[in-house]
Homo-oligomer: A and B are copies of this chain.
Amino acid sequence: MQRERAQCSFNTRELTHFLDNGAENTAKLEKMMLQFERDPVFKIPLYDLSWKEQREMTFRRITRMVPFIASDTEEEFIKRFGLLGIFDGATYTRLGVHYGLFIQTVRSMGTSEQVQKWIVDKGGVNCHKFFGCFGMTELTHGSNVAGLQTIAEYDPDEDVFVINTPNLGATKWWIGGAAHSATHCVVYARLVVKGRDYGVKQFIVQLRDIDTFELLQGIAIGDIGKKMGRDGIDNGWIQFTDVAIPRDNMLCKYTQVDDEGNVSKPKFAEQMGYAALVKGRVSMVTDSYNTGKRFITIALRYAAMRRQFGKDNEGNEKKIIDYTHHRRRLFPLLASVFAMNSSSIEVEAFQSKVQEQVIEGNIAEAIPNLKDLFALSAGMKAFGTWETCKIIDEGRQSCGGHGYSAYNGFGQGYNDWVVQCTWEGDNNVLSLSCGRALIQNYLSMEKGEALGIYSAYLKNNENMELKSEDLNNTAVLIKAWETISRNLIKKATNSYAKFFSETKDQEASFEKVSSNRFQIAKIHTKLLTLKTFYQRIQSANESVKPVLSLLCNLYALHITSENIAEFYSFGVIRGSDFYEDLNYMIDQLNDRLRPDIVGITDAFNLSDFFLGSQIGKRDGNIYESYFSFVNGQTGKEMKPFYYDSTYKPFLHRELKKSDNDAAE
């Protein structure tokens, strides 16, 4: 491994600063990482815990996280929290439900008095005699929030809302925190006043007595049980039967109900909420990067140490990283992790900017930017979380059998990760929405309306043809991608318009172009990911520009190779030689990156603790570490614990005559 590091061509420290968006951030992150590594509660490996034991461990870890609320700035705490997400998805989410969902909902949907009451006075911010959960999804409703069935009916006589679960399907389901930890829940329910349904609003409902932890009257809660991953989260179900709550428990920054049952709704409420709504999605772009870098590091370090088959120059078996196909499997995914790093920084900044424009009431700029933000965050959440699935899965497969051991991290990592493709907007639903937004964008443009900065390329008209000699030129590749994306969006818009002119049915017409919508969402998102990465390199330190440029070129060729059909279909490329040239060019870039690979994984700056993988160890001493860890985990029993009860009676049973016949 020392020889691997010695051949690195750049200063890894500079690259770390690039990834962390500044040396100051690197210093902060390193201090935080040390705090995790040194804390005995975080040191205990989770691999062998049963799902119930994991529940306890996540809570113990929560008690270690909460005190930092008082000492960190919000920005710092978000960073610390992100680090937790790298090695312990369950604790990350279990605490995230309280901090990210409960508290943020109160902040964005509550009045300042309500924020003071629930977050400060009642102890929300410190989890002091208070733990919040987020009661949105129901057994029969997930993606379609507007279709939720839980009822909050105003009773003017008592001046209360009465919460009810009208049927089994309306049972609140998947509610993280409900089974074991929550005292309160922000319940999404239909506001009904004087028999009129005002749609879904948010209501704070106390679930348990603070002192005895007994369920309050009318509240039924159960545990959802074992899941594919993140078993440390105590997901539960909740049913309400005539649960009365004070009128003031409805979060009423926007919609308000007075004591005579008059309902008032402000303008712009929806748009206001929009920018805040996407915050969760935006943070998942960062999660995609954080988790991606963990698993690509493990796979690449293993590849640099594992030897198999053919001989190298010194007569040893060749390192698997030195096989063309192995490089092809992993290096483009490494480039992809870098691309996600840039997009996560970009999209977080853009979200903040748009949210500010909304708060300032700068509607002229906010409206086109909101459209862009919606399409951008939906696409990047969907294709980023999917890309990380691929990184974990391909990484595992690239480690062969050892990738299948629990102690090398991939299995739990995958199981914990994949739910990111489903929650906060199912990836397919988001992609289709993104595609719809792009078509609407194109229609707006045709009407002469302003485009946001990420859609501005739709206005260009030049088409171009890509030649084999352009493959090294990322700027030209970006132009080609713009050509493709624009043509596809245009084609999709035309098809939509044609169906719509025939049917006058907007929904049916959008439904007809589902394939197109999915396709344009993918191409537009990959294009913006590439552009963002490319642009960010321009401001990088000179010493790391060459390696970043190689990675960016590789990323461009990788996504071109994956979507090359679109290039052929519009004649942007032609002939079977181009495809072969592209493949060889990827192989060549991989060869050029090869000496820097271990250095690049070092730049991600994750210690062995964060990697949580015996075969991904920094020192490359993988087999000793793996062997001794396995022995430490599995203990010293010499016979199976069911030897006397099951094994021996079977192996030593009397054979029947028929058994002996079978043996002949």
Contacts and interface: CB of A to CB of B under 8 A. Distances in A.
Interface string A307-351: 111100000010000011110110000000000000000000000
Interface in A508-525: 511-512, 514-518
A647 B180 contact: yes
Closest 10 pairs (CB-CB, A-B): A228-B411, A568-B568, A226-B406, A70-B662, A223-B634, A180-B640, A324-B514, A569-B576, A515-B583, A325-B514
A102 interface: no
Interface stretch (A262-270, A273-281, A414-422): A414-422
B662 A224 contact: no
Nearest to A329: B428
A467 interface: no
A132 to B, nearest CB: 12
A336 to B, nearest CB: 18
Contacts of A634: 222-225
Contact of A147 (B308, B564, B655): B308
Contacts of A214: 638
A9 interface: no
A51 interface: yes
A223 B623 CA distance: 16
Main secondary structure of the interface of A (DSSP, over half): helix
B428 A653 contact: no
A4 interface: no
Interface stretch (A123-131, A195-203, A354-362, A540-548): A123-131
Contact of A421 (B397, B495, B566, B656): B397
A457 interface: no
A502 to B, nearest CB: 14
7 contacts: A119-B663, A129-B651, A139-B627, A140-B623, A144-B317, A400-B426, A403-B422
A323 B511 contact: yes
* Interface size, A (range): 35 or more
A169 B623 CA distance: 7
Given A140-B623, A324-B514, A131 B421 contact: no
Given A421-B397, A663-B125, A215 B139 contact: no
Interface in A635-664: 635, 637-643, 646-648, 650-653, 655-656, 658-659, 661-664
Interface in A549-597: 564-566, 568-571, 575-576, 578-580, 583-584, 586-587
A113 interface: no
A11 interface: no
A121 B512 CA distance: 68
Interface string A394-411: 001110110111110011
A48 interface: yes
Interface in A336-393: 389, 393
A401 B422 CA distance: 6
Interface stretch (A31-39, A54-62, A469-477): A54-62
Contacts of A514: 323-325, 328, 587
A141 B308 contact: yes
Contacts of A516: 580, 583
A59 B640 contact: yes
A89 to B, nearest CB: 12
Given A397-B427, A514-B328, A630 B222 contact: yes
A423 B401 contact: yes
A181 interface: yes
A50 interface: yes
Contacts of A468: none
A623 B168 contact: yes
B174 A401 contact: yes
Contacts of A28: none
Nearest to A630: B225
Interface in A54-112: 55-56, 59-60, 62-63, 66-67, 69-71
Contact of A142 (B67, B69, B308, B587): B308
Interface centre among A308, A512, A566 (most CB of B within 10 A): A308
A456 to B, nearest CB: 23
Given A70-B658, A587-B515, A224 B405 contact: yes
Nearest to A59: B646
B126 A655 contact: yes
Given A55-B642, A183-B651, A404-B419, 5 more contacts: A125-B662, A181-B640, A213-B643, A389-B393, A514-B587
A449 to B, nearest CB: 27
A624 B168 contact: yes
A57 to B, nearest CB: 9
